[in-house]
Structure 1
Amino acid sequence: MGFVSQPLPLLLLVAGWLAGWLLDYLLAALRVPAPVSFVTSQHFIADYRMAYTKQATQMKCAALLLLFSVASVIDGARVLRPEPSKEVGGLLARRYLRLVETETILDYHNGPVLSGTDGKLSAYVIWYGDFNETDKATVRDFFASFQVENGTVTDVSRWWNMTYGFKDATGASVPNDVMLMGETNNTYSKGKNLNNTHIEEIMLDSLSVFPADPNAVYFVLTAADVEVEDFCMNSCSSHFASSPAAANGLQLPYAWVGNAKDQCPGMCAWPFAQPSYMPAQANLPLPPNGDVGVDGMLIQVAYMLAGTATNPFNNAFYQGDAAAPLEAGTACVGSFGVGSYSGYPGELKKDVITGSEYNAEGVNDRKFLLPALWDPNTRKCTPLGV
C-alpha cells in the first residue's frame, strides 16, 4: 500500500507542522506547567511534560485538521490518499492514517547493573530534616518487605523480582533481595534550600557512618519543609553517581526523594492527591499508610530503586536520550494496576476497613502502592499481580 499526494497539500502539511512548532514555542514562552517528572542518573533531567505535550499536540492536530479541510475542497487536490487495498472477499477497503504508540524498549548500553553483595542490594537512608517515628517506621517496613521470611514471599518481593531479568555484559544481574543496612539523621546541615551539589555533599557526609559501597544505593530523603532544586517543577526524585574524586576513586550510586505533602502533592504524590493539570477527580485513592507525603515518597523510592539498580551510571538499561532516559520504573510512570491509562492508575485493591487503596502487602500488615516496572522478559510495562 502506498500514498499519493499533490504539491499543494504537501505545502499545506509543511505549513501545518510549522504552525505546530510555533505553538510549541508559544506554550513554552507562556510557561505551561509541567507535571510529575523524574531526574535520573548523573545529574540528567528526565522531564515528563505530559500536560504540556497534551496541549501542544491538541493544538497542532487542530491546525493540521484545518489545513486538511482546506485542501479537501480545492479542486483536484489529493491529500495523502491511501491507495485502496484488497481485503477478504475481494472487497476494496480504505486504510486510514492513524497514530501509533511508540513501543517502550529499554536498550542495553553495555554498562553495569548493581549486582549487590552476597545476593543482596544494600540500601542506606539519610533522613534529612524532621521525620517523625511513624514516617520512619513506614519506610523501614517497606525495605523489610523485600526479604523472604519463614518461606513467605511478600508482594513487594514479587514486584522486585521483575528486575532480576536485567543482566549486564558480565552476566551479573540485579539481586532478588534488597536490605536496609543503615540509617542516619541529618538535621538541616545544608539548610532548607538545597541544590544537587548539596544532595551529593549530604550523601558523602554520611560516609562517616556508612561504608563506601559502589554496589549499594544511598537514599537522601528530605522532609516536607525542605526545598530542593527543581523539586515540584521538573522533578519529584532523582538518582546520581558521585564523582570518583569525591569518594576516594569510587562512584557511589545515590538517590534523592522529597516529601511533597506541603509543596506539590498533586505532582509528586499522585494518585493520592489531585494534580492541578488534570480535571478534578472524584474519589481519589486514599493512601494505604494514611499519609499522602510518605506514601507518595515510597512510590518515588520505588522508581529510584529500580532505576538506580538497572542504570546506576547512566550507561546500562534505558530508552531514549541519555540526557532524559526512560528507565525500568519511569518508563511506566502513572501505571499501578491492570487497565491503567493517563489519569487512571489502574485496578487497585481496597482495604475494607480504612478504604485505602494499594497493590502490595508487606511485613507488619503494611500495604503499599508500587508502580509498574518494565519487565525485560515480556518487554512490557507490567504492574504487580499480572
Structure 2
Amino acid sequence: MTRGQRRPLWVTSAGLAAVAVLLVAAASFASATEPEIIQLPSGTWSMSTVDTSDKNAGMANDAENEERGYLHYMATAVNKGLHLAQAAASIRDVNETAAAAIQSAAALPADQQASAAQADVYTSNMGQYLKYHGGKMMTEPNELKVYVLWYGRWTKKQKRIIRRFLVSLDRSKNNYQKFPTVVGWWAINVRYYTNGQNQRTTPYVKLSKEINAKYKLAPLGTVLNPLTHDNVRALLASAFDKKQKNYFPMDPNAAYLVLTSQDVYVTDFCKGLCAYHTSATFNGTKLAYAFVGNPAKQCPQYCTYRYFDPTFSGVNGDLGADSVVDKIGHELSELVTNPFHGRNDKAGWVVAKSQIENADLCEWRYGPTNYEEGGKVWNVKGFNGTKFLVQMNFNVRKRECALQGDGTVQAGILPSP
C-alpha cells in the first residue's frame, strides 16, 4: 500500500490470544461478504487516494483525522519460511463498521499456527475483491522508465546495490539468470494485471536517469531535514527544472523515485510508514512517483527484515540499501497497477472501498528464503547473479501470494500471457 508497510504493534500473550480469535473471525467474515472497508480520508497512512496537485490534498495527519480515530492496517508476517499471513483492514468510526483489525507477530506459538493458517484463507478471500476499476495502468508496449532522485548522503555501495536491483528488472539484460529471478518476480505484475483493453502491465522496465541531490535541490538552496510530504513533492518538482544541467523529463508513463538517505527525517517515516507511492501534476503533466527512505539508522527494527530476524544484515552487506530495495519493489508493483488513484481519478487495481493494492495483500511475506552466514537472507537473483530480498506479490488468478509468475522458465524469460 502506498502508506508503506506497518510494523505489528502487540507482543503480549494476551495479544496472541486475541489475534487467534480475530483470525478465525476475519476468515469467516471475509468468506461471507465483501468487507465494508470505508474510504479513509486522503492520506491517513496511505497516499493512494491523494492527488497532490490539489492544494487541499496531502498526507492528512491533522487533529480531525486523529479525532475520528481512523486506522488502516495491513499487517502480515513471515519468519524463516513459515507463512503466518495476517491480512486485515480496520477503520473505526462512531457510525461505521469494518473488518476487524488483525495485528501480527513474526512467529506464533505452535498452538496458534492453525489459526495463523486461517489468515491465508482471509488473504485469499480479501483478494477476490482486488479488481480493476478503469483507471490508468503502466502497460505495454510502453516502457516503464525509472528515474531516481537521490536526496542526502548516499554511499557508492548503497547506490550500487539499489541500481543493480533496478537494472535487474530489465529483462533484456537478465534473461540468462537462474530461477528464481527478479524478472520472474516482476512477471507477477505482467501476467496477472491487465487494463480494460486487455493490455498487460509492461514487462519493459529501464533505469533511465539519476540525479544526485545532496541537499542541493531543496528550494532556495536550503537543507531540508526533516522533510514534509509537500517537501518531497517540491524536491521532485525541482528535478524537472530545465535550467539545470541535469534534469528529468516529464513522462506520464514513467516512475519517479525519491530516495532519502539514513540521516534525512521525513514526516511519518518510521512511525506510520516505510514508503509510499502517489501522483501529482507538474506543469500540467500528471506523474506517478514513490518515496522510500533508508531505515538503517532510524528504525532498523521497524522497516527492515530485522524485525523477523535480528541478525539480518542485508544480503549485500548494507542493511539500509537492501531494505530500500525491498520497499522499492513493493511500491513499483503498486505504482504500475494503480498509478493515478487520486480524488479525481479512477482507480486501477485496488480492493473496493479501501486502499488495499496488490502488493499489500502479501505485505511482509517473503516466501522461500535462503540463509547465509552473517545474517544474509535472499529469495531472488538479478543482474550478474546479485541476490536480493523482496516481498511476494499477489497472484490475482490463484488468489495467493507468489514469488514468481506462473510459467516463468528457469532462464527468467517471460512467457506469453
TM bucket (normalised to shorter chain) is 0.5 to 0.7
Q: Does 2:358 correspond to 1:328?
A: yes
- Report the secondary structure of 2:154's partner residue: coil
Structure 1, residues 296-324: CA drift from partner, whole Å, max 9, x if none?
111110111001000001211011434xx
**Matching residue within 279, 289, 292 for 2:319:** 292
* Structure 1 residue 58: Cα displacement: 9.3
| Residue identity in the other structure for 1:312 | P
Q: Verify: 1:110 aligned to 2:134, yes or no.
A: yes
Is 1:222 the counterpart of 2:229? The answer is no
Asked if the contact 2:312/2:374 (under 8 Å) is kept, the reply is no
Cα pair distance change 1:308/1:57, threshold 3 Å = closer
Label 1:216 to 1:311 Cα distance change in 2 as closer, same or farther (>3 A). same
Q: Which whole-Å CA distance do the structure 2 matches of 1:379 and 1:282 have between them?
A: 28
Aligned to 2:176: 152
The correspondence for 2:400, drawn from 357, 371, 380, is 380
Q: Any conservation in 2 of the 1:112–1:311 contact (CA below 8 Å)?
A: yes
Q: How far does residue 124 in structure 1 lie from its aligned partner after superposition? A: 0.3
Q: Find the counterpart in structure 2 of residue 203 from structure 1.
A: 236
With structure 2 as the length reference, what TM-score do the two structures score?
0.63
| Partner of residue 410, structure 2 | none
Q: Which of residues 126, 130, 133 in structure 1 aligns to 2:149?
A: 126
SS of structure 2 residue aligned to 1:254: strand
Is residue 48 from structure 1 mapped to residue 73 from structure 2 by the alignment?
yes
Give SS of 1:253's match: strand
Gaps of 5+ in 1: 1-36, 60-97, 275-280, 338-346
In the alignment, structure 2 segments of 5+ residues that lack a partner are 1-44, 51-57, 61-70, 77-87, 90-99, 104-117, 242-246, 342-346, 407-417
Partner in structure 2 of residue 266 of structure 1: 301
| C-alpha distance after superposition, 1:266-304 (max 9, x if no partner) | 1111x2x23xxxxxx666444211111111111110111
Q: How does 1:1-386 map to 2 (within 5 A)?
A: 39-40=47-48, 42=50, 43=58, 47-48=72-73, 50=75, 101=122, 102-105=125-128, 106-115=130-139, 118-147=141-170, 148-149=172-173, 151-153=175-177, 155-164=181-190, 165-188=192-215, 189=218, 191-208=224-241, 209-243=247-281, 247-269=282-304, 271=305, 273-274=306-307, 284-314=311-341, 315-322=347-354, 325-337=355-367, 347-351=368-372, 356-384=376-404
Aligned amino acid, residue 351 of structure 2 = Q
Q: CA deviation at 1:221?
A: 0.1
In structure 1, C-alpha distance between the alignment counterparts of 2:397 and 2:257, rounded to whole Å: 28
Q: Deviations over 1:49-103 (max 9, x none)?
A: 749x99x9799xxxxxxxxxxxxxxxxxxxxxxxxxxxxxxxxxxxxxx997243
Query: How far 1:44 sits from its partner (Å)?
Result: 6.6
Aligned residues: 288
- State the 1:173 CA deviation: 2.1
Q: Which whole-Å CA distance do the structure 2 matches of 1:357 and 1:378 have between them?
A: 27
Structure 1 pair 49/380, CA: closer, same or farther in 2 (3 Å)?
A: closer
More deviation, 353-362/105-114: 353-362
- Aligned-pair distance for 1:177? 2.2
Identity value in percent: 28
Residue type of the alignment partner of 2:183? S
Match for residue 88 of structure 1? none
Deviations 1:311-366 (CA, angstroms, capped at 9, x unpaired): 001211011434xx1112122111101xxxxxxxxx31134x65511001111331
Q: Aligned pair in 2 of structure 1 residues 132, 167: CA closer, same or farther (>3 Å)?
A: same
- Report the Cα distance in structure 2 between the residues aligned to 1:333 and 1:309, rounded to whole angstroms: 17
How far 1:235 sits from its partner (Å)?
A: 0.7
Counterpart code for 2:230: T
Corresponding residue SS for 1:288: coil
Q: What is the CA distance between 1:381 and its match in structure 2?
A: 1.7
Distance in 2, Cα, partners of 1:234 & 1:371: 19
Contact 1:126–1:219 at 8 Å: present in 2 too?
Answer: yes
C-alpha contact (below 8 Å) 2:186/2:405 kept by paired residues: no
Larger Rg: 1
Q: Distance in 1 between matches of 2:139 and 2:277?
A: 17
- Residue 84 of structure 2 aligns with which residue? none
Kindly provide the CA deviation profile for residues 111-136 of structure 1, in whole angstroms up to 9, marking residues without a partner as x: 111126x5421100000000011011
How far apart in 1 are the matches of 2:72 and 2:321? 22
8 Å contact from structure 1 (residues 145, 362) kept in 2: yes
User: Matches of 2:377 and 2:331 in 1, distance apart?
Assistant: 22
TM-superposition CA deviations, 1:207-243 (whole Å, max 9, x none) = 1311100000000000101111111111110111113
2:152 partner amino acid: G
Q: What residue identity is the alignment partner of 1:193?
A: P
CA shift in 2, pair 1:298/1:350, >3 Å: same
Q: Distance in 2 between matches of 1:195 and 1:253?
A: 18
Match of 1:71 in 2: none
